[in-house]
Amino acid sequence: MQADSLITADYVLTMDRNLTVVQKGAIAVKDKKIIAVGPADELMRTFSSLQTIGGDGKVAFPGLVNTHTHAAMVYFRGLADDLPLKVWLEEHIWPAEGRWLSPEFVHDAVELACLEMLKGGITSYADMYFFSDSGARATKKIGMRAVIGAGIVDFPTVTGKNADDYLANAERLIAAWKGDDLITPSIADHSAYACSPETLKKSRECAEKHGVPLQIHISETAWEVGEILSRYHKRPVAHLEALGFLNENLIAAHCVWLEPDEIEMLAERRTGVSHCIESNLKLASGIAPVTSMLKAGVRVTFGTDGAASNNDLNILSEMSTAAKVHKAVSGDPTALNAKQALLMATRWGAEAMGLGRVTGSLEPGKAADIVLADLNQPHLAPLYDVYSHIVYSMHAADVDTVLVNGSMVVDKKKLTTADEAEIVAKASAWGKKIKKADTRF
C-alpha cells in the first residue's frame, strides 16, 4: 500500500483511549490523515512511502493543544510585568492595544506566535482577539490549526463601538472561514463583566445558529467574582448557567475562583476548562482547583494565555508547572501525574475545542498533527518513563519535526512555510516603534 510518509520513532505515544505506546513504532500518513499506527517493521512491510521521517532517538506524540491564548499579544511580551491584573490590563495593555492594533499588527504578531508555538510542538490553539480575520490568515499561511475567536465586549475598541458591531465582526469571520480545514471560526466573549447578559445571550444564539465554538474568561480573579455577585447576585458560573451559556461547545478560560457547586455545573455541562497556570501565577490571580475539577469529571486542558502575562507560549512548560503546583497545593505528590498532564495537553484539549474527531491523538482517521522530539539530550538521559521526560524534562527546543494536517511545517527545528528570520525581524521593528512612542520608556 502507498503512503505519503512514514514517521518512525523509538516511542509512539498515541494518547488513544488505552493510552497505547508503541516502542519502535511508526505512523503512516496519506492525504493529510493518519492511516495506520503500529510497530515500525510491520508498517514498513505494509506501506511503501514517498518519505520516511524520524528514526532512532525520537519520540512521537500528538501535536500539543493550547486551549487559550491571545496570539497577537506576543508583540506586548514584556511590555508591562510585575503588576496586578486590573492595573496591568487597564493602565498598560488596553491603552497599548488602543494605540497599536490594526490588521497588519495582528497579522505580523500572529506569525511570530505561530512560529513560537510550532517550534514548541503546539499544532492547535484557541484564540480570543480582535482583527481575527488577519490572525486567521497568518495562521493559515504558517500552516497551523486554530479556533479563532472574534472578540466581543460591550465597550468601544478599534474594531467596534458596541456589542452589535462585534457580533457583526463575528458573523463576517464565520462566513469567511466556516468549513476551512485548518481554521475554525469562533465567538469570544471577553467575560461576564465586559459583556452584558443580553450580549452573552446573543453570542450563544449566534454560536448555535452557525455551529461554532464559544470562548470566555470565567472567574479569573476574586475581583471578578465580587463584581458579578454585586451586579447579578450570582457567582460567575451560576450567572452563565442561568443564561444558558454553559455547554460542551464552550471553552472556559481560567476558572480560578470556583465553589464546589460551580465545579459540578461545569462537569454537568461538559464545558472544557482552559487552565492557564503560568499566567495565573504571574498575575497572582490565584490557583484554580484543578484536582477538584478533575475529580468531578471536568475536562481540564492547558492554555498559555497571552504572552504579555506568561511570557511565552509553551505548553510543555505549562504541563510541568501545573503538575508541580497542584501536587504542592493538594499536598499530594500523586496529583496530576505526567500521563494525565499529557492527556490534558493533547486529546482533551482537542475535545474541548470541538476538534476531538479531527486531532488530539495518533489514530487512523485523524489528521496527521504529529510532533517528533529528540531524546538524545543531556536533560533527557537516561530514559525510564517517556511521559515523565515529556512533562518534567523536555524543552521546546527538543522539538525536531512537526506535521500539521500531514504537512511538515517544522523540519529539523526550522519552519518550512515562511522565513523565520524575517518574522523575528518584523517583531523587532514593531517593538522599536512601540517603545519609541511609549512615554514610560
Which residue's CB is nearer to Zn ion, number 14 or number 215?
Answer: 215
Contacts of 429 (CB under 8 A, 6+ apart): none
Which residue's CB is nearer to Zn ion, number 86 or number 435?
Answer: 86
Which residue's CB is nearer to Zn ion, number 111 or number 305?
Answer: 305
Report in angstroms how near the CB of residue 386 gets to Zn ion at its nearest. 31
Size of the site for Zn ion (CB under 5 A): 1
Determine the Cα–Cα distance for residues 112 and 135; give it in Å rounded to an integer: 11
127 binds Zn ion (CB under 5 A): no
305 binds Zn ion (CB under 5 A): yes
Choose the stretch contacting Zn ion; rule: CB under 5 A; options: 221-229, 305-313, 372-380, 433-441. Answer: 305-313
DSSP code for 76 = G
Report in angstroms how near the CB of residue 421 gets to Zn ion at its nearest. 30
R_g over Cα of the chain: 21
| End-to-end C-alpha distance for the chain, whole angstroms | 62
Among candidates 133, 139, 86, 134, which has minimal Cα distance to 112?
139
Report in angstroms how near the CB of residue 204 gets to Zn ion at its nearest. 19
Determine the Cα–Cα distance for residues 427 and 115; give it in Å rounded to an integer: 12
Which residue's CB is nearer to Zn ion, number 14 or number 279?
Answer: 279
Instruction: Determine the 3-state secondary structure of 310 from DSSP.
Output: coil
CB of 176 within 8 A of CB of 203? no
Choose the stretch contacting Zn ion; rule: CB under 5 A; options: 81-89, 267-275, 297-305, 326-334. Answer: 297-305
CB of 407 within 8 A of CB of 183? no
Among candidates 303, 73, 301, 69, which has minimal Cα distance to 186?
69
Which residue's CB is nearer to Zn ion, number 305 or number 351?
Answer: 305
220 binds Zn ion (CB under 5 A): no
Report in angstroms how near the CB of residue 45 gets to Zn ion at its nearest. 48
Report in angstroms how near the CB of residue 254 gets to Zn ion at its nearest. 7
Report in angstroms how near the CB of residue 303 gets to Zn ion at its nearest. 8
**Residue carrying C-alpha cell 475562583:** 257
Choose the stretch contacting Zn ion; rule: CB under 5 A; options: 59-67, 158-166, 299-307, 376-384. Answer: 299-307
Instruction: Determine the 3-state secondary structure of 117 from DSSP.
Output: helix
Which residue's CB is nearer to Zn ion, number 191 or number 346?
Answer: 191
Residue nearest to Zn ion (CB): 305
CB of 289 within 8 A of CB of 261? no
**Residue carrying C-alpha cell 480545514:** 181
Choose the stretch contacting Zn ion; rule: CB under 5 A; options: 56-64, 302-310, 330-338, 363-371. Answer: 302-310
Binding footprint of Zn ion on the chain (CB under 5 A): 305
